[in-house]
Structure formats: C-alpha cells, structure tokens
Structure 1
Amino acid sequence: MGEADAALLAALPAMAFHAVLLLSRLGAAVMLLPGLGEAEVPATIRLALAGAMVLALLPALSPSLPPQPAQVSDLLLVVVAEVLCGLWIGLLARVLALALAQAGQVASLMIGLSSPLQGDMVLGAAATALSRLFSLAAATLVLATGLYELPLRALAGSYAVLPPGSGLPAGFAAEEMTRVAAASLAIALRLAAPLVLAGLMLNAALGLAARLAPQSQIFLLAAPVQIVGGLLLLTMLLPRLLAAWGTTMSQGFASLPGS
C-alpha cells in the first residue's frame, strides 16, 4: 500500500464525519425549502439533492469543520445542533413563501369561497381550492424562475454565520423567525388588499340594501355575484400579484442568514 493510499485511509473517518455534519444541516433544510421541499416532490429526490450538495461543498468546507468528538454524547449533540440549524433555515424560507398561500386564503374569504368557521388540519384556517392553487403556483414559480438558488446559496453561506459545533443561538433564531413571520403576513395582506377592499365595499353596499329592503335575502341573492365578480377581479390581478410576489421573495430570500 502506497503512502497516498495510507493517507486516504487515515483521512476517511474525518471525511465521513464532515459529510454527516453537512448532510445533517443540508438534508434537514432541503426537506422544508420552498419548491424543493414540497410534499409533491419525492423524498428520494430531496435526499439525492442533499447528497449532491454535500459532495459539492465538502471539499471547500471540510478544512473549517470541527474534528470528530471523542465522546458519543458530544457527537450526538453536534449532529442534533446541525439538524436544528437546517430546519431553522428551511423553515424561514418556507414561512416567507407561504405569503402567497395566505393571500389566497384571504382572497377566498373575501369573495365568498370559504368561511372563517371552516377548519383545516394542514393550514389551520379556511383552506380552499384557491389557496391550494396559490400554494402550487408559489412552488412552480420558485422552480421556474430560479428563486430556489437564493435559499440554497444562503444555506451554503450559513456555515460562516453559524459554524458547526457552535449550536443554534435561541435568541437570534427566535428574532429571525418572528421577523420572517411578520414579513410573510404583511406580504400576504398587501397581495390580497385589492380583493379585501372590493369585498368590504360590496358588503357595505349589501348592508345598506338590506336595510332598505329587509324582507329580501340580499346577501343570499348576491352570493353568486360576489363569487363570480371576485374570480373575475382575481383573474385580472393574478399576473401582477404573482410578479409582485416573485419580486418580494427575491428580496426576502436574499436577506436569509448566510446570504
């Protein structure tokens, strides 16, 4: 056995440990990233993507990664910390991208396609076909426009912000999650603002008509008009809504930790 082979065999344990560290963070994040981590994407494809990222980043990041701990308990703590970092980064991007689905739910409520009393086990609110359509549109836009590159770039740069072995700072993580959740809700309300305004004006007009003619079922008679008119308005606004969402996501993904 030559010296090169002996050196390679000696370096294999450290390389395997570094690969596990990278896979812990990258794999956890890829499972949640918008577009790449959708439920419609098979888990094998997501794992293959995480493995490819490990192979691409391992030569560059291996010199800066910590050595393998001597104790098994310390090893488990490091791996769990890396998984938490990956889940945190993936969840930040996921919550930000949920703005379009939230806008779809608000639009559904305002045009009469949903009720605030209707529960949903996944989204926890009045989930309708319109909100599901917006969710699929968000995933399609992320993949079609190349927006997925920004979270992946932030994920690769996160090793400079959160070095492996340092753990996840709880205060900083909570502040970032709060900021992203507030930004996502603000984006959703801005996207749905035209439909909210139209719905408020329509309901105010229907309320006045009901006071003038209390015997007639104004709200029941106007329900089809509200739904058809809301869908027509949404159809006219949809290209601008998607363009505005894409621009906002580009800015939001660029502000993720590690970007």
Structure 2
Amino acid sequence: MQAELWLGFIVFLRIAATVALLPGFGEQSVSVRVKLALALAFTLIVAPAVSLPELDYSTSTLATLTLTETISGLLLGIGVRLFVLALQTAGAIAAQSTSLSQILGGATIEPLAAIGYILMVGAIALAMMAGLHVKAAQLMIHSYVILPIGLFSAGSDIAGWGIAQIAHAFELAFVLAAPFIIMSVLYNLALGVINKAMPQLMVAFVGAPVITLGGLFLLFLAAPTMLSVWLSALDQFMANPMGHTR
C-alpha cells in the first residue's frame, strides 16, 4: 500500500503540471477544482502503466521527485500549449492582414483578436472530438520513457528542444496564416495600381470594406483546412514529443 501511494503521488506531480497547461483542460475559464479532479482522474489512468524505481522514501528523495516530476510535467504541458499559442498568433496575423486587429493582439493584456479566438475555440472543440483525453493519457504514459522518474534532463537538451518547439510554433502560425497574407499582398498591390490610375479616387474608403469582407469570406473557406492542419501537427507532437528537436 505504501508503494502504491508513493507511485500515485509521484505520478500526480507530473500529471497535475501537464493538465494545468493542456488545451481545453487547462484553460483559465476552467476552475481549479475541476483541474484538480481531472489531474486525479488522469493519475488513476496513468499510474498502473508506470513502474516505480527503487527509492528510499526520504525527505531529500521527496524534494528531488517534487522538482523533477513537476519540471517534466511543465515541459510536456508547455510543448502542447505552444500549439494553442501558434493558433492565436496565426489569428493575430490574419486579423492584421485583413485590418481587423493589431498584430500583437494575442500577446498583450487586451482581448484576443476575433479571428484568433474563433480559431482557438474551434481547434479546442475539434481536438476534444478527436480524443484529446486519450492522446493526453498516452503522452503522459510515454513521457516516463523519455523523461524517467527522478532524473534531471540535461540543460542543453532542454534548451535545444525548447528552441525547436518555439521555432516550429512560429512556422506553424505563418503556415496557417499564409492565405490571409497572400490575400493582403494582392489586395494592396491592386489598391496601389488603382490609386496610380485614379489619384482622385479615395481608394482607402473604397477598399476597407472589401478587405474586411474578403477576410471574413476567406476565413469561412480556409478555417476547416487550417484546423485540420493544426490538429495533424498536434497529433504528431503528442505521438512523438521529441520529434522536432533539431
């Protein structure tokens, strides 16, 4: 019984840190009590699949495990959370390209751009429908192979992994926002040609409604493809969280 309780506690440390950052489960709108219940539920699922190494159960061991397991859980959670931030960045870029928001709308204390919020809510709903809870449990179980219990990862490895994940998140954001960027470039080129041909025409007043309507129409067309690409990238990461290390 003592060994089982220790195993449950050690697994809970990593699971709780991961759940706090998972899309859907770790959102700010979810209460702390619900997050705690989710962490306990995931612990009951993950713990039977984890083997506990030989430990002396001393105070120093407890402090070491608390530190290592919490850090490991945070690393996993941050890796998954970066995909949500990539989607928010893509929404901010798309909103800026269509003159609907500031480009840093998702990085400030102000509310997120409308396009980014729509994409984020849709992505979380799609991920839940695709079995995010099952994939998250598999990720947590697999994490004990790549991040063993009680061991610190090398700082250089973590730094390289983190840089690769951030670079991949920005790459994904620009890929998702590419249709809006292309449309914005073509629109501004056409606006410049019209302004050159007809200097007396107030092209800004004529073109502003056009770019807004075009952006909304493009969002209607591109959102399903954007979300499917995002979900595919998320699935690849959760199947192999160290796959983007360069």
SS at match of 1:35: coil
Mark the runs of 5 or more structure 1 residues left unpaired by the alignment.
1-10
Q: Please, what TM-score do these two structures have when normalized by structure 2? A: 0.87
Q: Within 1, Cα distance between the matches of 2:220 and 2:142?
A: 39
Q: Please, what TM-score do these two structures have when normalized by structure 1? A: 0.83
| Aligned match of 2:88 | 101
Q: Within 2, Cα distance between the matches of 1:35 and 1:174?
A: 27
| Aligned match of 1:38 | 27
| Aligned match of 1:78 | 65
Q: CA 1:81/1:100 → structure 2, altered by over 3 Å: closer, same or farther?
A: same
Which structure: larger Rg?
1
Mark the runs of 5 or more structure 2 residues left unpaired by the alignment.
none
| Aligned match of 1:163 | 148
What is the identity, as a one-letter code, of the residue corresponding to 1:133? Answer: I
Q: Within 2, Cα distance between the matches of 1:230 and 1:106?
A: 12
- The list of structure 1 runs, each at least 4 consecutive aligned residues, that deviate by more than 4 angstroms after superposition, is 117-120
Q: Which of 235, 240, 244 is 1:255 aligned to? A: 240
Q: Within 1, Cα distance between the matches of 2:37 and 2:76?
A: 19
- Say if 2:78 is the partner of 1:91: yes
Instruction: Between 189-198 and 113-122, report the one with greater CA deviation.
Output: 113-122
Contact 1:96 1:252 in 2 (8 A): no
Contact 1:162 1:168 in 2 (8 A): yes
Q: CA 1:249/1:57 → structure 2, altered by over 3 Å: closer, same or farther?
A: closer
Q: Within 1, Cα distance between the matches of 2:217 and 2:5?
A: 57
Residues matched between the structures, number:
243
| Aligned match of 1:49 | 38
Instruction: Between 210-219 and 137-146, report the one with greater CA deviation.
Output: 210-219
For residues 40-69 of structure 1, the C-alpha deviation after alignment (integer angstroms, 9 at most, x for no partner) is: 2222222112112222333442x4334244
Q: Which of 2, 7, 19 is 2:8 aligned to? A: 19
Sequence identity, in percent? 30
Cα drift, residue 26 of structure 1: 0.5
Cα drift, residue 23 of structure 1: 0.8
Q: Within 2, Cα distance between the matches of 1:103 and 1:96?
A: 10
Q: Within 1, Cα distance between the matches of 2:185 and 2:237?
A: 30
